[in-house]
Amino acid sequence: MTAPDPADPAPGARGQPDQQVSSAVADPAAATRRHDPHEPEPVHLPQSLVEKRAAVHNKRIDGRFRRFKWAVMLLTLGIYYGAPWLRWNRGPYAPDQAVLVDVANRRFYMFGIEIWPHEFYFVAGLLVMAGLGLFLVTSAVGRAWCGYACPQTVWTDLFQHVDRFVDGDRNARIRLDAAPWTWGKVTRRAFKWTIYLAIGFATGGAWVLYFADAPTLWRDFFAGEAAPIAYVTVAILTLMTVTLGGFMREQVCIYMCPWPRIQTAMLDEKSLIVTYKDWRGEPRGSVKKAEKDPAHFGDCIDCRQCVAVCPTGIDIREGPQIGCITCALCIDACDRVMADVGRPRGLIDYATLEDCEAEARGEAPRAPWRTILRPRTIAYGLIWGAVGLSLLFALGVRSHVGLTVSPDRNPPFMVMSDGGLRNSYTLKLRNMESRPRGFRITVDGLPGAVLWSDTVGRADAAAAQTVTVPADQTRTVRAYVAVPPGTTAQDFAFRLTSLDPQHETARARTHFSAPAGNSP
């Protein structure tokens, strides 16, 4: 792990001291010769049933991708930990938490949007969008999800920073790992694991806050008065966070997660991945060796910095592999090294396999937008947008009343003493506004019908009835509809009209049953 010496005169050895030229460009013949994919020497692994996990102690690195990763991490963690605390005024009849999954009352609140269980297609639509979004992202920019936004990645990154904070950088951690269990090491480990637990607790704790009023639950939780399920959930999620983020880490990506498998199937030679340009880098040789034989060696100086910074501990130079989450930290590392030795950046870079081949042949690289905008990504993008637009449209035109009717089937009709007929219905009136509303129920298309209900007696039967439905609730009303003698069986509809200025209406078709003798 010799850091390259910035004073190394390697570039000068190439004769053009101030121009960064890759060895492949300097000597195309050599490049073509080296284009065969690099294959590691077949090592003879000791055949054993199980494989011991080698701890990954990734080195600190700074660079543009690392900074981007920091930004994404701040953003995602900020959203996750902060969202339950945002408030949103919905008036006196609804909770004021901006994002709330109210399981007990079966409501999902998201800022100005309130989703009822029967509108679950909105959530389904969002999931469809999430799925398509992943397809889109994967075919455009490869495993960007894995590299930056996946919770497993974000929390692993967080825990690795904790490691670095407590135990020092890579070398110190490797030494400490190997060191015997002295009191000093025990103290350090205890300290580190306490931080792990605190992060885990914060993570589990934030989770339950999405399911109840956050400030109340917070108070109750620490007063020991929250529901047992809250404690159980927090405990399980705390353990899960610590296990997955603190200890399993890259093992989750390599062995447990289905997503890399799916992505592997979706990537093609036109997808952006983090690649080591072997045609440019091979054969590897230290700066000193290259100095002696510039024509033979490629740009890779074999400093292993890319391996040292990798959060999953792999060597990208072995080629694209499932362990690579494309976090691009190795690009940062390699770019630094290349800058230090005065060679062009991008020996490891975001590139498509096709571009790599073209580049190796000495052709000009394609513009990045051509990689991102191609039929497949455009198709995904269009479908994604279409789903999103239709969701928005549905959200815009959805009404805040609902009416469902179920006629009594046993008995289907009733002869009244005046010879008239009565049918009974169970109406469900849904008021989706966060305030109580009055509604008028009328009967549409059933001549001579009068209506009464379980709260309005038959004496007050009339063609229309008024009921009040509490804020944000569904009210069940038994409705009795009577018609004059001789009415035949027919379809008709109930109509619900809100008595507020909106005058929202809902209609529900149903059937009026009559004896067979009354058939038309």
Partner 1 sequence: MANSRIDPATGTETVGHEWDGIEELDTPMPRWWLWTFYLTIVFAIGYVIAYPAWPMVDRATKGVLNWSSRGDLARDMDAAEQARTGVHEALSRVPVERLPDDSALLAQAVAGGRAAFQVHCTQCHGSGGAGSQRLGYPNLNDDDWLWGGDLRAIEFTLVNGIRAPGHDDTRQSQMPPFEGVFDPVQMEALIDHVLALSGKAENNRQGAQIFADNCAACHGEAGGGSRALGAPRLNDAIWLRGSTREDIRRQILNPRMGVMPAWENRLDPATIRMLAAYVHSLGGGEDFIAKADDPAVEVDDRP
b/e per residue, 508-519, with b = 16+ CB within 10 A? bebebbbeeeee
Closest CA to 440 of 506, 498, 372, 505: 498
Per-residue H/E/C for 439-504: EEEEEECCCCCEEEECCCCHHHCECEEEEEECCCEEEEEEEEEEECCCCCCEEEEEEEEECCCCCC
Residue 461 CB, shortest distance to partner 1, in Å, is 11
Closest CA to 350 of 403, 280, 272: 272
Among ligand SF4, partner 1, none, what binds residue 326 when CB lies within 5 to 8 Å by partner kind? ligand SF4
Residues at the site binding partner 1, with contacts judged by CB under 8 A: 39, 42-45, 47-53, 248, 251, 255, 408-411, 414-420, 422, 424, 454-455, 457-459, 478, 480, 485
459 CB-contact burial (10 Å; exposed 0-12 / middle 13-18 / buried 19+) = exposed
Nearer to ligand SF4 among residue 328 and residue 496 (C-beta):
328
Nearer to partner 1 among residue 16 and residue 455 (C-beta):
455
Among partner 1, ligand SF4, none, what binds residue 347 when CB lies within 5 to 8 Å by partner kind? none
CA distance 338 to 349: 12
Whose structure tokens read 């792999």?
A: 314
Q: Which helix (H) or strand (E) holds 35?
A: none
Residue 257 CB, shortest distance to ligand SF4, in Å, is 3
Residue 465 CB, shortest distance to partner 1, in Å, is 15
Among partner 1, ligand SF4, none, what binds residue 459 when CB lies within 5 to 8 Å by partner kind? partner 1
Residues at the site binding ligand SF4, with contacts judged by CB under 6 A: 146, 150, 152-153, 252-253, 257, 259-260, 274, 309-312, 314, 316, 324-330
Among partner 1, ligand SF4, none, what binds residue 458 when CB lies within 5 to 8 Å by partner kind? partner 1
Structural contact between residues 360 and 35, judged by C-beta atoms closer than 8 angstroms: yes
Residue 406 CB, shortest distance to partner 1, in Å, is 14
Among partner 1, ligand SF4, none, what binds residue 314 when CB lies within 5 to 8 Å by partner kind? ligand SF4
How far apart, in Å, are the Cα atoms of 304 and each of 27, 69, 92, 329? 24, 22, 62, 13
Residue 258 CB, shortest distance to ligand SF4, in Å, is 8
One-letter amino acid identity for 81?
Y
Residue 368 CB, shortest distance to ligand SF4, in Å, is 18
Among partner 1, ligand SF4, none, what binds residue 252 when CB lies within 5 to 8 Å by partner kind? ligand SF4
Residue 246 CB, shortest distance to ligand SF4, in Å, is 15
Sequence-distant (≥ 6) Cβ neighbours of residue 214 within 8 angstroms = 84, 85, 97
Nearer to partner 1 among residue 385 and residue 484 (C-beta):
484
Residue 222 CB, shortest distance to ligand SF4, in Å, is 32
CA distance 295 to 288: 13
Residue 371 CB, shortest distance to ligand SF4, in Å, is 17
Sequence-distant (≥ 6) Cβ neighbours of residue 257 within 8 angstroms = 152
Among partner 1, ligand SF4, none, what binds residue 223 when CB lies within 5 to 8 Å by partner kind? none
97, β-bridge pairs: 87
CA distance 482 to 488: 12
Residue 237 CB, shortest distance to ligand SF4, in Å, is 16
Determine the Cα angle at 31 with ends 39 and 281, to 5°.
55
Structural contact between residues 72 and 416, judged by C-beta atoms closer than 8 angstroms: no
Nearer to ligand SF4 among residue 155 and residue 207 (C-beta):
155
Nearer to partner 1 among residue 29 and residue 45 (C-beta):
45
Among partner 1, ligand SF4, none, what binds residue 327 when CB lies within 5 to 8 Å by partner kind? ligand SF4
b/e per residue, 488-498, with b = 16+ CB within 10 A? ebbebebbbbb
Among ligand SF4, partner 1, none, what binds residue 259 when CB lies within 5 to 8 Å by partner kind? ligand SF4
Whose structure tokens read 């990798």?
A: 310
Residue 436 CB, shortest distance to partner 1, in Å, is 16
Range list of β-strands (E), 113-211 = 113-115
Tokens read off for 420? 């008239």
Nearer to partner 1 among residue 385 and residue 485 (C-beta):
485
Residue 268 CB, shortest distance to partner 1, in Å, is 20
Among ligand SF4, partner 1, none, what binds residue 150 when CB lies within 5 to 8 Å by partner kind? ligand SF4
Among ligand SF4, partner 1, none, what binds residue 508 when CB lies within 5 to 8 Å by partner kind? none
Other C-beta atoms lying within 10 Å of the C-beta of residue 54: 7
Tokens read off for 22? 């890759």
Nearer to ligand SF4 among residue 137 and residue 327 (C-beta):
327
Among partner 1, ligand SF4, none, what binds residue 411 when CB lies within 5 to 8 Å by partner kind? partner 1
Nearer to partner 1 among residue 18 and residue 39 (C-beta):
39
